[in-house]
Amino acid sequence: MRQRPRGDSRGILDPARMLREVRFQRHLPAEPLRHWVEHYWLIDWALRTPFEQRVVPHPAVNVVFRQDGDGPEYGEVAGVGLDLFRVTLTGTGRVCGVQFRPGGFQTFWRRPVSELTGRRVPLPTGRLTMPPGAVCAGTDDERCAALDSLLTAWGPRPDPAAEQAIVLAEAVRTDRTVLRVDDLAARHDVPVRRLQRLFLEYVGVGPKWVIRRYRLQEAVEQAAGTPPSWADLAADLGYSDQAHLVRDFTTVAGVSPAAYARSVR
């Protein structure tokens, strides 16, 4: 069982600037929820000028509560984002987010997660209702406790298929040698068609998309450091040539790898 949340900045474009502009924290949920939930993420800001943050989305569902200034708090379910996510923050505000592990949200949603892909659905919706009090108020511990109570009240149910989807998606995330769907299927002794159906229902996107998204996030992370050899990186990430990596990187990040590398330096 994990003892601390992930410390990487994978998916966040120009993370150094983000940390200068806002307070960003990750926290683990209560232990019984950790099998399904990756972490809670909390953001607080007090800005003099507007700040735009861009994120290359993970293949994961998020539940997000946000309050701007003294306005009302609202919540939504954000399905797996297919495109670059942009948000502009102004004034003051707070966000409390739950990032589920890929495959983990279905135990709460109990319907095909692909219904949410590319969508943001306001709460309340069906069983997933807004909590009676504010989630974003209070200290970090109080905000996390409110999220623990909320998710527990939603009543997640163990599901063997969800367990399998979580394990397979985690294998893609942690093992960069996974570059093809048939390879993933063979390693875990799962027929390719079964793998595709499982990912669509429980993760929200197909296994090929998940593999490519995780590998692209690695490319973004590497571009922010010492500039790699793009040709070598393309080969390492399973691309047939550098041009295909540059095209996919530009599509998902909004700029070419070289332009992004220059911008963060």
What does the pLDDT look like over 81-118, one tens digit per residue? 999 999 999 999 999 999 999 999 999 999 999 999 99
pLDDT of residue 82: 95
* pLDDT mean over 74-78: 96
- Choose among 128, 46, 20: nearest CA to 79: 128
| pLDDT above 80: residue 228 | no
CATH number of 160-264: 1.10.10.60
Question: Where are the alpha helices (H) located in 50-159, listed in sequence order?
Answer: 106-109, 140-153
Question: What are the b/e assignments for 143-175, b being 16+ CB within 10 Å?
Answer: bbebbbebbeeeebeeeeebbbbbebbeebbee
> Taking the domains of the chain in order of start, what are their residue ranges?
15-153, 160-264
pLDDT of residue 130: 85
Higher pLDDT, 173 or 125: 173
| pLDDT above 90: residue 48 | yes
What's the chain's average pLDDT? Answer: 93
In the structure, what pLDDT confidence band is assigned to residue 1 with cuts at 50, 70 and 90? low
| pLDDT above 90: residue 258 | no
What is the percent of the chain with per-residue pLDDT over 70, rounded to a whole number?
Answer: 99
Cα–Cα distance measured from residue 143 to residue 158, given in angstroms and rounded to the nearest whole number:
25
In the structure, what pLDDT confidence band is assigned to residue 125 with cuts at 50, 70 and 90? confident
Whole-angstrom CA distances from 123 to 27, 148, 260 are 23, 17, 35
| pLDDT above 90: residue 18 | yes
State the fold for domain 15-153: Immunoglobulin-like (2.60.40)
> Read out DSSP for 135-204?
SSSS-HHHHHHHHHHHHHHT-----HHHHHHHHHHHHHHH-TT---HHHHHHHTT--HHHHHHHHHHHTS
pTM: 0.93
pLDDT of residue 143: 97
> Read out DSSP for 224-241?
TSSPP-HHHHHHHTT-SS
Handedness of CA 62, 187, 35, 175 (dihedral sign): negative
* pLDDT mean over 154-176: 94
- Choose among 156, 49, 47: nearest CA to 108: 156
